[in-house]
Amino acid sequence: MYAIRADGTIVYVNRRYARMKGADRDSLIGTNIYGLVPEETAERAKLERAALERLESNVGVVEYEFTPVDREPFPAEMRFTLVDGPADVDRVGVIRDITHRREREDLLRRKNERLEEFTSVVSHDLRSPLNVAMGRVAMAREEADSEHLRDAEHALERMNSLIEGLLTLAREGNDGGWRPSTSRRPSGSAWTRSAYRVRGSASEPT
């Protein structure tokens, strides 16, 4: 925790802040906090303070690279608020290490990137031949319609619905109300023969 004047001069820091900084508490008192952070971070903090003064928010939040005296920088989050108190105190705040949170965010981002790549491949590799099959079945039905072709068309439509639902699930992380189709499966020998025709195989359907 820290407390500073309006010009950024530190008037109080607790032991935890001093340990994070790797410095003695007394040496930090009187130091300008803006001199302890990169210029860009200082400007963002000033913008956040201005927003607090205009009552546009209740808490100022700035993420930045915290630079200790005795070790490597690490990602940190600064949160502060204006105070009505002693005349020499403008605001108080806390700074916390967010290294683990950043690592989790980076891991999630990489997973999402791989998932997006996967859905793109699946969409192309599955839907392209499916679209060809659906087009061929439609053309065949125009020439000579039959129960077998209708069954094949229904099976292809269900496959398309499954692909759409799986892609939605993969991209959005929820099913969006999607459920596998419950349309009637062709029964008996009609299913067997249509399966042979679509798959071009003499094996039993699974």
pLDDT, tens digit, 9 for 90 and up, residues 18-52: 999 999 999 999 999 998 888 999 999 999 999 99
pTM of the model: 0.58
pLDDT tens for each residue of 63-96: 999 999 888 999 999 999 998 866 789 999 999 9
Range list of H helices, the chain = 15-21, 25-28, 39-53, 99-143, 147-172, 188-199
For domain 2-97, the question of CATH label 1.10.10.10 is answered with no
Would you tell me how many other CB atoms lie within 10 Å of the CB of residue 62? 22
Domain ranges of the chain: 2-97, 103-199
Which residue, 103, 109, 41, is CA-closest to 77? 41
3-state secondary structure of 55: coil
